[in-house]
Amino acid sequence: MSNTETSIDLDEIFAPIRQELDAVEREYMRHVQSRVELIPEIGRYIQQGGGKRIRPALLLMASRLSSYKGDSAILYASVVEFIHTATLVHDDIVDNANLRRGQMAVHSRWGNDITVLLGDYLYIKSMGLALTEDSLDVIRLLCDVTLRMIEGELYQLTKTGDVEISEEEHFEIIRRKTAYLFGGCSQIGGMLGGVSDEEAEALREYGFNLGVAFQLVDDLLDYTASKSTLGKPIGSDLREGKVTLPVIYLLQRDGDNADSLVRNVVETGEITPERWKELKQLLTEHRAIESAYDKAMEHAKLAKQHLEVFPVTPERESLMALPDYVLSREH
């Protein structure tokens, strides 16, 4: 896996919408307030953990591309950030992940009971916020992508520990868990601007393919990034029983040697430094990481192609740069 030719600066890409993104941060903290002090306390903790805010930024930039001017974009960007955060805190419980972005996961600090209820609170809060705008089309879309995300998590659980998972099954997980929300974010931006049906479809497909590329790179980082840059222990996916695209390709190309190694990690949930080194060597020898990265590049290219229906503007160029950033990610 190699980075794109130039370093892509996310702050530079987001520069045109920096004020709006700051407003989203303020909206998040304003709406996470509650008489139950624990809720804003955990809300602040999550916010301090950082995150790139790609999903709300995508909605904001798509609305700008669609010539929308108004405050609804900030509100809906806050909504998708609430939805995304809810999925993260629930996912960490399901995965039994102790770290998130280099700090203790919420359930590790406050326990599963509180974290499950917090995730529920964030989901309901997101829909309550969306209802204040009284746009049923957007609310339907938000409900649809949220249901698909939950279905994706459930489907992934049925495939956890399945060393024989197919490439198509894995992509179905990616589509549901990640891509549909990305697509929904850019689609909502277009809906706010009242774009044509062709442009609305182009924005949805742009976001969808960007989301696929994002998740493919995210899966690759488990095998290419260091623990310090990744913010979680190396090999987490495989030790949690998640067989992602690099390993799927490896098993297709070297079933005999790789099969027993992969099965042992999945079954025991452990991997020694020596076995990890052996696994990474096999992935390199059989070009499994390179092939998975090629898939991410395909979807990044598709994303950019869908933007070609729009005239060249600073907003379009920012969106054009986002797939390149996704491909260049190191954490």
SS3 of residue 50 by DSSP: coil
Taking a C-beta distance cutoff of 8 angstroms, is the pair 243, 170 a contact? Answer: yes
**Which of 86, 84, 56, 85 shows the shortest CA–CA distance to 72?**
56
Per residue of the chain (331 residues), what is the pLDDT tens digit?
A: 444 444 578 889 999 999 999 999 999 888 888 889 898 888 888 887 767 889 999 999 999 999 999 999 999 999 999 999 999 888 888 877 777 767 888 898 898 999 999 999 999 999 999 999 878 999 999 999 999 999 999 999 999 999 999 999 999 999 999 999 999 999 999 999 999 999 999 999 999 999 999 999 999 999 988 766 666 677 889 999 999 999 999 999 986 789 999 999 999 999 999 999 999 999 999 999 999 999 999 999 999 999 999 999 999 999 999 999 999 987 6
| Structural tokens at position 99 | 């770290």
pTM score: 0.92
Q: Which string of b and e fits 216-229 if b means at least 16 CB within 10 Å?
A: bbbbbbbbbbeeee
Handedness of CA 152, 242, 178, 207 (dihedral sign): negative
- In this prediction, residue 46 carries a pLDDT of 83
In sequence order, which residues have a C-beta less than 8 Å from that of residue 281 and are 6 or more positions away?
none
Domains of the chain: 10-328 (1.10.600.10)
- Give residue 250's identity as a one-letter amino acid code: L
- What distances in angstroms separate CA 126 from CA 31, 82, 121, 134, 172, one per listed residue? 9, 6, 9, 13, 25
**What is the pLDDT, as a whole number, of residue 1?**
46
Could you tell me which residues are beta bridge partners of residue 104?
99
User: Of 183, 217, 208, nearest to 295 (Cα)?
Assistant: 217
Residue 329 backbone phi and psi in degrees, to 5:
-60, 140
Output the furthest CA–CA distance in the chain (Å, rounded): 59
Amino acid at 186: S
Nearest to 66 by CA among 193, 174, 181, 158: 193
* pLDDT, position 2: 42
**Tokens 């990616």 map to which residue?**
174
Do residues 58 and 320 lie in contact, with contact meaning Cβ atoms separated by under 8 Å?
no
- Provide the 3-class DSSP secondary structure of residue 232: coil
Q: Please, what is the Cα angle at 268 between 266 and 269, to 5 degrees?
A: 65
| Cβ contact 91:150 at 8 Å | no
User: Reduced to 3 states, what is the DSSP secondary structure of residue 189?
Assistant: helix
- 100: part of which helix (H) or strand (E)? strand 99-100
- How many Å apart are CA 33 and CA 74, to the nearest integer? 18
Token pair of 93 as six digits: 């419980």
Give per-residue burial for 63-81: e unless 16+ CB within 10 Å, then b. bbbbebeeebbbbbbbbbb
pLDDT of residue 48: 79
